[in-house]
Amino acid sequence: MPGWTRHEGRALPLPLENVDTDQLIPARFMSAPRSAGYGGFLLHDLRYDSEGALRPDFPLNRPEAAGASVLIARRNFGGGSSREAAVYALVDAGFRAVIAPSFGDIFSSNAVNNGLLPARLPAEAVEALLEAAPLELAVDLDAGTITGEGQAHRFELDPVWRLKLVNGWDDIDLTAAHDEAISAFATRRRAARPWLWLATP
Amino acid sequence: MNGPLTLFDRLWSAHEILRRDDGASLLWVDRHYVHEGSHHAFARLAARGMALAHPALTVGVADHYVPTRGREAADADIARMIRTLEDNATARGFRLFGQHDPRQGIVHVVGPEQGLTLPGMLVVCGDSHTATHGALGAYAFGIGATEVAHVLATQTIWQRKPRRMGLSVEGRTGPAGGANDIPLNSIARLGADGGRGHAIEYAGAAVRALSVEGRLTLCNLSIEGGARSGLIAPDETLLNWLRGRPFAPDGAAWDRAAAEWLTLASDRDAAFDREEGLDAAESAPGVTWGTSPEDALPITGTLPDPERAATASDAARIRAALDYMGLRAGQRLEDVAVDQIFIGSCTNARIEDLRSAAAVLSGRRARVPGLVSPGSALVKAQAEQEGLDRIFVAAGLEWAGSGCSMCVGMNGDIVPPGNRCASTTNRNFRGRQGPGSRTHLMSPAMAAAAAVTGRLADVRPLLSGRDV
C-alpha cells in the first residue's frame, strides 16, 4: 500500500447514518478473491434495485460521482461486521478518504491498513460539507485539514494511524524488528501457563 | 502500574509485550480463531511466503458457510470456501473443527464450549462477535483481514489501549427477555456507536446472576453498541461451567489456573473512563423495529414518528428505517405480523436459549414457518437428548444443523425479499438476512412467542403457569 500525505479529489455526499459494513458490501460477494476487484460490490444493494437496475438518484450513481475519491457520511459509518471487504470495496472504487462524525472501530483499523483515511469531523462540519457536496476537497494528513470551495475543517486522527497512512507501512514489517522481545514473552508465558498451548494435530 | 486497577487494565498489561513512544502497544495473542471468511488473510500470508508463527495457538472452525440443512453446500462457490479452510488447516498445521466434526459449530459457541477460550486470555478472530468470549474473563475482540494475517505471522497485534467503560446492571432479568434485553436496552439508550473506543466491563447484581450462557449473549452484543470488546470478571459460576471442558486444564494445573482466574477482577475503587448504569427489571422484553440495533423498544411500545425527531438527520433515519421495514409511525409493535422466525446465531443458540424457546413452544403450534439452528453440534445433541427438537418439530419449525446460518445468510439460508423475520440474531441491518429481508431482533423466548402468535408479541402471558 503506497503512502500518501495530500489528496485532492471530488467529494460525494452520502447523507445516511449507520452505513454498516453489511451495506458497504453485502455478505454474498465476499467469497471473491481480491484480485477480482471489489469496487463493483460497493453499496451494491443501495445502488441497485431488487431487479438489478441502477437507482439513478442514488449519490454514487449520479453523473458527478464519476472519479469521486472522498465520501461524506453521517454518524457511525462502517459499524457492524469486521469484514475488511467493506474497505476493499471503497478502495477499489477509488476512494481515499471517508468523512463522518464517527466510525466503527474495526472499520477504522481496517481502513488505515488499506490506505483509506477515516476522517472524523464534528457533526456540524459534516452537515456543512453535505450541504456543499459534491465539491472538490483537499485532504492533508500532516496538517490534519480538509479544505476546498470555501470549506476549511480540522479532523482528528490518531498519530499512529497518520504515520501508517503517510508511510504506507505494513505492520508485519514493523513487528519483525521486535522478534526477540516477542520470543522472550512467549517463552515466559508458556512456562507460567502451559495450558494455553494446544497439542498441534 | 500503580493504584487501583480495572479487570481490563489487568488483562491489558498481562499481554503487553512493549509499548512504542507513539502509544501503540504490541500485544500477545493467546488464542486466534479462524473461519472460512479468513481466506483473504491466508492469501496475504501465502503471497508473502510466510508461515504461521504459532499453529498451536490457532484454531479453525467452519461456521460462516457451512450448510445447516443437509450435508451439501448450497453451491460450488460456498463449497470452495469450506474446502479452502480445510486446505489451509492441513497445509498450515492448525487444529480445525471442520464441517463434519462432531464438535463443529459457531466459533463463538465452540470456543467457550470446548474450553479453548479461558479466563485471562487475549482472544482475536476475524469476526466482530469475538467480543462474546469476554464473558469468560478474556480480552476478546474482532479484527480485520490485515490484522488476521499479522496475528498468523507473528501471534501479536498492535493496539492502542481503549478507554474503559463500566456498565453496571442492577435488578434481575426475567425469563422473557433473558440476557438479550440488557444490551438491547443499553444500546437503545447509548446508541449503536455509544461504546466506540471503549472496552466495556459488565458488572452488577443482574450480571452476576446470569448463567454463563447469558453472559455470552451479553458480551456478544457489545459490538452492536460500538464496543469492540466486553468482559465480565470470572467467578465461581464460571469456574463450575468451565471445569472438565475438553481443552481446559485439569488436576494441579486447573487448581493453579482457577486461583489465578479469580484474581481477575476490578479493584473496588478502580476508576473507569466512563460509567453507565441500567436497571434490568425496568422494562418489558425488547425488540427492534428499525435497521440498527439502537432501534430497540419494549414490546409494549409504538413506532417512532419522524415528524417528532429532534434533528433532520434523525428524522431522515427514522423515515428510511420505517420505509425499509414496511412499518408506519405510531403503529403498535404488537400489531406487526411476521412471516417467519429464526432461532440461532452466536448470540442466542446455546442450550439455555433453546430451552427458553421450547418452554414457550411446548404443546403449541407455530403460525409461521421458522428455522431453529443450534449453536453447535454438541448443543444440538444435548437438545435432542432433552427432547427439545421434538417440541420444535411438533410446533411446525424446522430443526437444522449448526452454523451462522440465517444470521448472515452466507450459506444460502436467507430470508426472502420483503419477508419479516423475528430473529434471535444480532443485526437488523438492511439486507443482513438476505437482500430485502426485514429483521426484528429479540430473545429466543420472544421469537418463540412471535412464532405461536404470528406477530411481534409479549411472551410474558404465554409463559404464565409454565416452568421456565
Domain termination site, one of B220, B253, B276: B276
Q: How many domains does chain A have?
A: 1
CATH assignment at residue B454: 3.30.499.10
CA distance B157 to B145: 12
CA distance B454 to B339: 7
In a domain, B361, yes or no: yes
Does B176 score more than 80 pLDDT? no
In a domain, A182, yes or no: yes
Does B1 score more than 70 pLDDT? no
pLDDT at residue A201 in the model: 67
The residues that bridge with B426 in the sheet, in sequence order, are none
Show the CA angle centred on residue B192, arms to residues B187 and B198, nearest 5°: 85
Residue of B nearest to A127 (CA): B313
Residues of A in contact with B119 (CB under 8 A): none
Measured in degrees and rounded to the nearest 5, phi and psi for residue B446 equal -70, -35
Q: Does the beta-carbon distance from B80 to A31 stay under 8 Å?
A: yes
CA distance B163 to chain A (A): 12
What is the rounded average pLDDT of the residues B446-457?
Answer: 98
Q: Which of A137-141, B21-25, B340-344 has the lowest mean pLDDT?
A: B21-25
In a domain, A22, yes or no: yes
Q: Is B23 in the A-facing interface, judged by CB distances under 8 Å?
A: yes
CA distance B115 to B242: 7
pLDDT at residue A173 in the model: 82
Q: Which of B8-12, B70-74, B426-430 has the lowest mean pLDDT?
A: B70-74
CA-wise closest residue to B183 among B221, B133, B231:
B221
Q: Does the beta-carbon distance from A79 to B192 stay under 8 Å?
A: yes
What are the contacts of B85-91 at 24+ separation with CB within 8 A? Answer: B85/B34, B85/B35, B85/B36, B85/B38, B85/B39, B85/B60, B86/B62, B88/B34, B88/B38, B88/B39, B88/B42, B88/B60, B89/B60
Based on the domain organization, do B190 and B329 belong to the same domain?
A: no
- Between the CA of residue B246 and those of A198, B35, B94, B103, what are the distances in Å? 11, 20, 17, 11
Question: Higher pLDDT residue, B22 or A107?
Answer: A107
What is the rounded average pLDDT of the residues B148-172?
Answer: 96
pLDDT at residue B172 in the model: 84
Using one digit for the tens of pLDDT, what is the confidence trace for B257-275?
999 999 999 999 999 999 9
In a domain, A1, yes or no: no
Does B427 score more than 60 pLDDT? yes
The ipTM value here is 0.96
Mean of the per-residue pLDDT values of chain B: 96
Based on the domain organization, do B334 and B244 belong to the same domain?
A: no
Based on the domain organization, do B200 and B272 belong to the same domain?
A: yes
Q: How many CB pairs under 8 A join A and B?
A: 197
In a domain, B2, yes or no: no
- Between the CA of residue A178 and those of A172, A185, B45, B133, what are the distances in Å? 10, 11, 19, 28
Write the burial class of residue B57 (CB in 10 Å: 0-12 exposed, 13-18 middle, 19+ buried).
buried
Instruction: Please give the radius of gyration of chain B, using alpha carbons only, rounded to the nearest integer.
Output: 21
Residues of B in contact with A29 (CB under 8 A): none
In a domain, B299, yes or no: yes
Give the 3-state secondary structure of residue A181: helix
In a domain, A201, yes or no: no
pLDDT at residue B22 in the model: 86
Continuous segment of H or E residues that includes residue A9? strand A6-14
CA-wise closest residue to A171 among B166, B151, B58, B124:
B151
Based on the domain organization, do B376 and B323 belong to the same domain?
A: yes
What is the rounded average pLDDT of the residues B377-398?
Answer: 98
Q: What cell numbers appear for A171 in the block?
A: 505492520
Residue B259: count other Cβ atoms within 10 Å of its Cβ: 9
Q: Is B431 in the A-facing interface, judged by CB distances under 8 Å?
A: yes
Based on the domain organization, do B113 and B176 belong to the same domain?
A: yes
Based on the domain organization, do B31 and B157 belong to the same domain?
A: yes
CA-wise closest residue to B113 among B66, B59, B71, B54:
B59
CA distance B110 to B99: 13
In a domain, B316, yes or no: yes
What is the rounded average pLDDT of the residues B134-142?
Answer: 98
pLDDT at residue B43 in the model: 94
Q: Does the beta-carbon distance from B30 to A182 stay under 8 Å?
A: no
DSSP string, B190-249: H-TTTTTTEEEEEESHHHHTS-HHHHHHHHHGGGGGT-SEEE----HHHHHHHTT-TTS-
What is the rounded average pLDDT of the residues B279-289?
Answer: 88
Does B323 score more than 60 pLDDT? yes
For A108-118, letters b (16+ CB in 10 Å) and e give bbbbbbbbbbb
The residues that bridge with B169 in the sheet, in sequence order, are B278
Domain that holds residue B272: 7-276
What is the rounded average pLDDT of the residues B135-151?
Answer: 98
pLDDT at residue A170 in the model: 79
CA-wise closest residue to B155 among B30, B15, B10, B12:
B30
Q: What cell numbers appear for B271 in the block?
A: 476508576
CA-wise closest residue to B128 among B250, B221, B239, B25:
B221
CA-wise closest residue to A25 among B85, B325, B40:
B40
- CB-CB: which of B50, B127, B292 is closest to A82? B127
Continuous segment of H or E residues that includes residue B167? strand B163-170
CA distance B105 to B181: 24
Based on the domain organization, do B306 and B247 belong to the same domain?
A: no
CATH assignment at residue A108: 3.20.19.10
In a domain, B281, yes or no: no
In a domain, B282, yes or no: no
Q: How many domains does chain B have?
A: 2
CA distance B45 to B59: 17
Q: Is B300 in the A-facing interface, judged by CB distances under 8 Å?
A: no
- Residues of chain A where predicted confidence (pLDDT) is lower than 50: none
Domain that holds residue A72: 6-196
CA distance A62 to chain B (A): 20
- CB B405, CB B344: distance < 8 Å: yes
Residues of A in contact with B193 (CB under 8 A): 75-76, 79, 102, 104
Measured in degrees and rounded to the nearest 5, phi and psi for residue B440 equal -115, 120
- Between the CA of residue A152 and those of A14, A156, B8, B383, what are the distances in Å? 19, 14, 39, 61
In a domain, B74, yes or no: yes
Tell me the residues of chain B between 255 and 294 that have a Cβ less than 8 Å away from chain A.
257, 291-292, 294
